[in-house]
Structure 1
């Protein structure tokens, strides 16, 4: 997909956050900076930001009527198109705020849904986004009247769900049921493919991590190792939040000859809407079947701890914490601090853009997937062509020759294949 980011007419946006002084709350400065990036990803431009300290949220106006009137003046003065709030708003709050501010009011969840709607390209991705949009809209119908009437009016109004936004509750519920049935059918196809993959015994590696950590760039570098690679197999990579959305699966090959499958997943973000986690559960659950999780982190990010905590929290929610995890600290080319140890068995520092230490990453993936290696001679009978074919496609073969009993291989085997083909080992 070709995106042209240079000719976008960006909406003028004012962002609003509330600091509740709670120990459980993420630092508001971090989430507001992230909100700014989300607005940019949604084709908006943040003109001004407002942060307010409160002991509790105002039930009617979220920020209080007085602050809403103050924001209305800001919007008039700065010619603001849209006001984006850092947390979820109720339908009543949206209605009350729009009445005072006289601008389009959306919240963080609606903003993220909007980005997802713009980026989804597969049928499944579009259905998942529409389902999340409808679930978000349903309890807010009373407050979304003005916004919903602005069909095609930019941020917060586009996507697969936009043509459904003015239908009544009964029709929304009917559409939700219809989408769930379609997704169930797609899940059946995915389950069948997954079972075939499991039978093939090719290991699966899942890339996970915060949005814009560089997963897609790493993905594109790793898949170049396979014989079947061409440019059409690459995924879109761009330096912005949620540049890619749809989950992609491709073949990779280790330098030692073994094949593995690599899956690129949607990036995580703090305060990820519940509707999205639910809607994308079918796609994200592929991580549960991975033999290895590669957790990608942006080593240059000042929000390093938040990103790490968010990703591990979502993996825990998914029940994927029992999987072996390899941590990849990406964007080493932009990192100013000295790194004393570039890699251990559990982590590695790389620059996917520059190709730095990608060989180390491949080596660590091999160790995590296959463990110890054995160099052995195997004699495979001529009538066991399926075994010979497996060795050619999935192992590092040093040499082959033909003897009376069959094909003789000098080959490197991982522990699993060593035990599997032990009876064919030629004793010296």
Structure 2
């Protein structure tokens, strides 16, 4: 299948604030996003201008030049480095005579590709419909043009060829489904007895590769990190939060969760729609903030992630900054140091430094809980299994009258063990 031909267009209207990408850097990131969505970027256009044009976003002169370029180069779509209004979308489409998308639309398009679970798909559809709703100006062709992403993804024309009231009903229904998901997560949280460590970070920082490496080293999982799907170099590779258990050097078992990558100008619709998935961040006992240590924009990316963490009200949680990709650090480049949080430098790809990270987690999370001596009846094999899964069994002796053992256990299990405790 031939890739759609695209141009990316941005405006340079002001000096970037501290921690913000420049207009040129933001446009380059947009190019990466468009290519990640499956199109071929033919050219970038950046216009210096004092203010945004309310009708076109760009100036009329550039709009005319773009129309000629689109026709001459057979361009399929133009992507703008902003969130366009409905008026701007319609006016640009009329002048350029090609499909028009903006930064938010492209990110939503990528999320639509990546969502695998039912929950992820609900969240993406909700975000897409909330993005489209204020841009609906009619029915029929006007509405279906707004539906188009790259290729055939999106909520689908069959859903979008309906009136505003129907879309509002669909949004309400999706919100009810997500509320149910959130309730189920609360039940799971109440039953959780292990500490939860959640990976967060800018998209493509290497979170998934780090998770696979930790599962291999401390979770007993055999992973071939050379395979394309094991920590792939892909924007927004992880949408659906996944949780697995690992064991720290001190014997304590913890849960490890991966989350969707963050990005500058992350659409507010996505932050809102993905609240259920991002509950793994809100419920975490500790956050591993994974950073691409080789990026020339480390500080900007760190601040973009911390901005989203602020929106989720989790800036008070313990954080470890994981500077990843140290095996690729250019010679002479000084590794980043965070002014507030401890930093571990490592390479998830080679495994160098993973032991230091695990040791730091063991130190920050402490021990597994209370120490108990027990005599379990032989028929309590299920309880013995829980002790191995949730606590740390230090000594075990199989006797005729039962199983004698010493263990460190979490508070959630401690009360249930009272009938079997040895007090001598």
| Displacement after TM superposition at 1:388 (Å) | 5.9
CA distance in 1, matches of 2:411, 2:342: 21
Q: Partner of 2:364: helix, strand, or coil?
A: helix
Q: Which residue of 2 aligns with 1:316?
A: 310
CA distance in 1, matches of 2:411, 2:336: 29
User: 1:205/1:42 Cα in 2 relative to 1: closer, same or farther (>3 Å)?
Assistant: same
Q: Which runs of 5+ in 1 are unaligned?
A: 1-7
8 A Cα contact 1:17 1:28, kept in partner: yes
User: 1:15/1:143 Cα in 2 relative to 1: closer, same or farther (>3 Å)?
Assistant: farther
Q: Deviations over 1:341-390 (max 9, x none)?
A: 9999922111111121212211111112116999x8x6423469688655
Q: Deviations over 1:14-71 (max 9, x none)?
A: 1011111145463112211110110111001211001111111111111022210011
User: 1:154/1:26 Cα in 2 relative to 1: closer, same or farther (>3 Å)?
Assistant: closer
Q: Deviations over 1:377-415 (max 9, x none)?
A: x6423469688655533455554446899866576x599
Q: Partner of 2:47: helix, strand, or coil?
A: strand
| Displacement after TM superposition at 1:83 (Å) | 0.5
CA distance in 1, matches of 2:215, 2:158: 38
8 A Cα contact 2:147 2:156, kept in partner: no
CA distance in 2, matches of 1:209, 1:334: 18
Alignment partner of 1:214 is 2:209:
no
User: 1:204/1:140 Cα in 2 relative to 1: closer, same or farther (>3 Å)?
Assistant: same
Q: Deviations over 1:209-242 (max 9, x none)?
A: 001001111111222356674669x975321211
Q: Deviations over 1:1-20 (max 9, x none)?
A: xxxxxxx6321111011111
User: 1:357/1:228 Cα in 2 relative to 1: closer, same or farther (>3 Å)?
Assistant: closer
Alignment partner of 1:66 is 2:61:
yes
Q: Which residue of 2 aligns with 1:195?
A: 190
Q: Partner of 1:95: helix, strand, or coil?
A: helix
| Displacement after TM superposition at 1:151 (Å) | 9.5
User: 1:231/1:329 Cα in 2 relative to 1: closer, same or farther (>3 Å)?
Assistant: closer
The partner residue of 1:51 within 46, 53, 57 is: 46
Q: Partner of 2:277: helix, strand, or coil?
A: helix
Question: Which stretch shifts more, 78-87 or 223-232?
Answer: 223-232
User: 1:269/1:48 Cα in 2 relative to 1: closer, same or farther (>3 Å)?
Assistant: same
Q: Which residue of 2 aligns with 1:168?
A: 163
Alignment partner of 1:17 is 2:10:
yes
Alignment partner of 1:33 is 2:28:
yes
Alignment partner of 1:330 is 2:349:
no
Q: Which residue of 2 aligns with 1:264?
A: 258
8 A Cα contact 1:17 1:50, kept in partner: yes
Q: Deviations over 1:107-152 (max 9, x none)?
A: 0000000110111111111111111111111111128976753599
User: 1:51/1:341 Cα in 2 relative to 1: closer, same or farther (>3 Å)?
Assistant: closer
Q: Which residue of 1 aligns with 2:173?
A: 178
Q: Which runs of 5+ in 2 are unaligned?
A: none
Q: Partner of 1:314: helix, strand, or coil?
A: helix
CA distance in 2, matches of 1:169, 1:208: 36
CA distance in 2, matches of 1:128, 1:329: 30
| Displacement after TM superposition at 1:249 (Å) | 1.3
User: 1:414/1:298 Cα in 2 relative to 1: closer, same or farther (>3 Å)?
Assistant: farther
| Displacement after TM superposition at 1:269 (Å) | 0.5
Question: Which stretch shifts more, 361-370 or 36-45?
Answer: 361-370
8 A Cα contact 1:14 1:46, kept in partner: yes
